[in-house]
Amino acid sequence: MNFVKPELDLFPFKDHVKTNIVLIGNGGYGNRYCNSVLVDARESNSARKYKMAYYDWSPQDGREEAGLHVLWRARSIFLQRTA
Amino acid sequence: MTKHSRQFHRHTSALAGIRTGLRIRFLGHRSTLTAALLWLLTTTLCSPGFVAEAADATKLKLTDPKPHQVVQRTGTDPAMGHADVRIRGEFPNGAERAEWESRIVTLKGATGHGADWAKLDTTVKDSTFEAIVRVVAGGWYRLEVRCRVGDDVVAIGQVEPIGVGEVFVVAGQSYATNCNDERFKVTAPHERVVAFDSAKETWAVANDPQPTPDGSEGGSIWPPLGDALVKELRVPIGFANVAVGGTSSMQWMPEEKLHPRLVQTGKTLGRFRAVLWQQGESDVIAKTTATKYFENLKTIRETAAKAWGFEPPWLLAKSTLHPTVYNNPEGEGRIRSAIDELVKLPGFRPGPDTDTLTGENRGDAKSRRHFSGIGQRRAAEMWFAVLKRELTAVKTTAVRTLMFLEDHDVLYRSGTERVLHPAKRPTDKAVISQTRPWKVAIGWTSIHRDVASEKYQLWYQAYADKRAGDKRLECVVCCAESDD
């Protein structure tokens, strides 16, 4: 078993231009806990086949609220944040 | 020219007659309608893809399967599974060059489905032939076998009804035979509950009395059980009852005369689901010790299984109560405790506790002195519950692999042993280590094997805290992939 961390251009970290980071915070309070990925074979929208659920905080009505958040993506690695 | 070859010659002559229209004159029909119908028949038979059966095709004698025979199916789900049915028969002269075919025709109200004519690989020895045909669970069916040379059918035979379903061997003593009060008839649609007569080696609808070797003539518990099983499983049900009234476990031992019949019946059936053992009263009377009863049953089962070449489970009813003959709680307890120990062994499983059927469930001294009609029905219900559980258990063990086993997944576990297989590390090293500055700590992970790339894809939380210098990067999700 040999996990390879891809060198992606998504989110630089200090002087590291390429990282394997696929999800960062929104700059407010919170941490991206408990991520869980579901590959939904029955999803009719191909852009939403991969879904990631995770716990985070996000701004709502001028303040930050905690809750379960979801991302989705057609292909596996690069998950997009929902609106 | 031998008699059979002359007969074979006549087949081809008859076929030629059909093709040239001479058949009309041969049969002596003169009406226009009849002539038109025969013309239509002739035209149809001569169309490409049709095989003509000669009017005097030799009758193919099939000796197996037998009418009303049920063959044990694979699988346990209602109306599911199949059986490889052995066909035997007498080989007709004139068919040396023949191709063999069989088909399965569903009869009225049948479950399962038939099969069209298909080639039959036949082994011929002397004047007999043998073949195997796969039949889906269900019935009743008609099995047809034919031999043909080219498009000409030279011999054809059939047997009906036959079924593929559940088959049980019944053994024990009087409560398993026809010593009970009420004679039951099979009520399942199309009489799809049958009994095997071990003396005649025939099958018939399982109306009471059952064809037991002891010649008892009252009622039994098996027709209502069969009815319930047909309804639940949607396949025909067969019982092969070799129980004999008044017999103790000693009399079923390998050196005694009941054992060979038990063994031979199992061999004749080929495969069956289970042995239903309803016995114990005579061992109470004989004062058999628990240890002796335990050893007897163990020997009987092991010897039979060796002879059969497979190990069907033995379902042991607790059948020690016989109120019109004795009241012996201590003796009954000995046999019951022996059964409790037996069902912890592989190959034995608990059957119904029919000793709980007391009062109105038992006939009085003026009756046949066993189960009353109510008791028979309730005993059948208890056996049904056990068999339903048994088939569910088979399904559980047959199709499911439980990687992380909890006790609630185990329906029952008599005779089983818990074996723990500890998880193994493929390597002592971490498969993801904290090698980058944004990974001071690694947390929550999620892993998936991608169907397209066949790679394991991993998402994990990486924590850098204030070292990140950017609040958005203090806690991030990263990814990695592995080929294996």
Residue B283 has pLDDT above 50, yes or no: yes
User: Minimal Cα–Cα distance from A23 to chain B, Å?
Assistant: 5
Q: Are strands B441-449 and B99-111 parallel, antiparallel or unpaired?
A: unpaired
Q: Are B458 and A3 an interchain contact pair (Cβ–Cβ within 8 Å)?
A: yes
Report the residue from B436, B469, B472 with minimal CB separation from A25.
B472
A58 versus B123: which is more confidently predicted?
A: B123
Q: Are B426 and A33 an interchain contact pair (Cβ–Cβ within 8 Å)?
A: no
Q: Are B431 and A28 an interchain contact pair (Cβ–Cβ within 8 Å)?
A: no
pLDDT-derived band of residue B225, with 50, 70 and 90 as boundaries? very high
The rounded distance, in Å, linking the Cα atoms of A80 and A24 is: 11
The rounded distance, in Å, linking the Cα atoms of B102 and B131 is: 10
pLDDT for residue B23: 29
pLDDT for residue B91: 82
Residues from chain B that touch A24, judged by Cβ atoms under 8 A, are: 472-473, 476
pLDDT-derived band of residue B318, with 50, 70 and 90 as boundaries? very high
Partner B, chain A 18-77, Cβ-Cβ below 8 Å: 19-28, 30-37, 39, 52, 54, 76-77
Residues from chain B that touch A3, judged by Cβ atoms under 8 A, are: 431-432, 456, 458, 480-482
pLDDT-derived band of residue B414, with 50, 70 and 90 as boundaries? low
* Cα–Cα–Cα angle for B193, B197, B201, rounded to 5 degrees: 115
Residues from chain B that touch A30, judged by Cβ atoms under 8 A, are: 475
Q: How far is CA B389 from CA B194, B347, B412, B468, in A?
A: 22, 16, 9, 60
pLDDT for residue B150: 85
Q: Which residues pair with B370 in a beta bridge?
A: none
- Nearest residue in B to A56, CA atom: B475
pLDDT-derived band of residue B127, with 50, 70 and 90 as boundaries? confident
Q: How far is CA B55 from CA B19, B37, B270, B362, in A?
A: 13, 16, 36, 59
Residue A33 has pLDDT above 60, yes or no: yes
Q: Are A27 and B472 an interchain contact pair (Cβ–Cβ within 8 Å)?
A: yes
Give B126: exposed, middle or buried? Use CB within 10 Å, 0-12, 13-18, 19+.
Answer: exposed
> B400: which 2 tokens?
């499911």
Residues from chain A that touch B484, judged by Cβ atoms under 8 A, are: 1-2
Sign for the pseudo-dihedral over CA of B338, B339, B344, B345: positive
- Nearest residue in B to A30, CA atom: B475
Give the residue-averaged pLDDT of B84-106: 89
pLDDT for residue B282: 97
DSSP run (H or E) holding A60: strand A50-60
What is the domain partition of chain A in residue ranges?
33-81
pLDDT-derived band of residue B250, with 50, 70 and 90 as boundaries? very high
Rg value, chain B, Cα: 32
Nearest Cα to Cα of residue B291 among B282, B283, B303, B302: B283
pLDDT-derived band of residue B303, with 50, 70 and 90 as boundaries? very high
Residue from B434, B478, B483, B484 to probe the interface with A (highest A Cβ count within 10 Å): B478
Report the residue from A1, A21, A36 with minimal CB separation from B476.
A21
Q: Are A32 and B480 an interchain contact pair (Cβ–Cβ within 8 Å)?
A: no
- B14 CB contacts (<8 Å, ≥6 apart)? B54, B55, B56
Give B50: exposed, middle or buried? Use CB within 10 Å, 0-12, 13-18, 19+.
Answer: exposed
The rounded distance, in Å, linking the Cα atoms of B118 and B120 is: 6
- Contact (CB, 8 A) for B67 and B161: yes
- pLDDT tens-digit map of A1-28: 788 888 888 899 988 999 999 888 877 7
Domains of chain B in start order, with CATH, are: 3-162 (no CATH), 173-399 (3.40.50.1110), 441-482 (no CATH)
pLDDT for residue B429: 78
Q: Are A23 and B450 an interchain contact pair (Cβ–Cβ within 8 Å)?
A: no
Q: What percent of chain B has pLDDT over 70?
A: 82
Main-chain phi, psi angles of B330, to 5 degrees: -65, -45
Quickly count: other Cβ atoms within 10 Å of residue A72's Cβ: 19
Q: Are A1 and B427 an interchain contact pair (Cβ–Cβ within 8 Å)?
A: yes
* Angle of helix B3-20 versus helix B32-45 axis, rounded to 10: 110
pLDDT-derived band of residue B27, with 50, 70 and 90 as boundaries? very low
pLDDT for residue A34: 83
Residues from chain B that touch A33, judged by Cβ atoms under 8 A, are: 443-444, 461, 475
> B136: which 2 tokens?
């889906």
- Nearest residue in B to A36, CA atom: B446
Q: Are A3 and B457 an interchain contact pair (Cβ–Cβ within 8 Å)?
A: no
User: Minimal Cα–Cα distance from A67 to chain B, Å?
Assistant: 16
Least confident range of A73-82, B26-35, B123-132 = B26-35
Residues from chain B that touch A34, judged by Cβ atoms under 8 A, are: 444
Residue B284 has pLDDT above 90, yes or no: yes
Q: Are A77 and B473 an interchain contact pair (Cβ–Cβ within 8 Å)?
A: no
The rounded distance, in Å, linking the Cα atoms of B370 and B364 is: 8
Average pLDDT of chain B to the nearest whole number? 85
3-class secondary structure per residue, chain B: CCHHHHHHHHHHHHHHHHHHCHHHHHHCCCCHHHHHHHHHHHHHHCCCCCCEEEEEEEECCEEECCCCEEEECCCCCCCCCEEEEEEEEECCCCCCCCEEEEEEEEEEEEECCCEEEEECCEEEECCEEEEEEEEECEEEEEEEEEEEECCEEEEEEEEEEEEEEEEEEEEECHHHCCCECCCCCCCCHHHCEEEEECCCCEEEECCCCCCCCCCCCCECCHHHHHHHHHHHHCCCEEEEECCCCCCCHHHHCCCCCHHHHHHHHHHHHCCCCEEEEECEHHHHHCCCCHHHHHHHHHHHHHHHHHHHCCCCCEEECCECCCCCCCCCHHHHHHHHHHHHHHCCCCCEEECCCHHHCCHHHECCCCCCCCECHHHHHHHHHHHHHHHHHHHHHHHHHHHCCCCCCCHHHCCCCCCCCCCCCCCCCCCCCCCCCCCCCCCCEEEEEEEEECCCCCCEEEEEEEECHHHHCCHHHCEEEEEEEECC
- pLDDT tens-digit map of B359-375: 999 999 889 999 999 99
- Nearest residue in A to B463, CA atom: A31
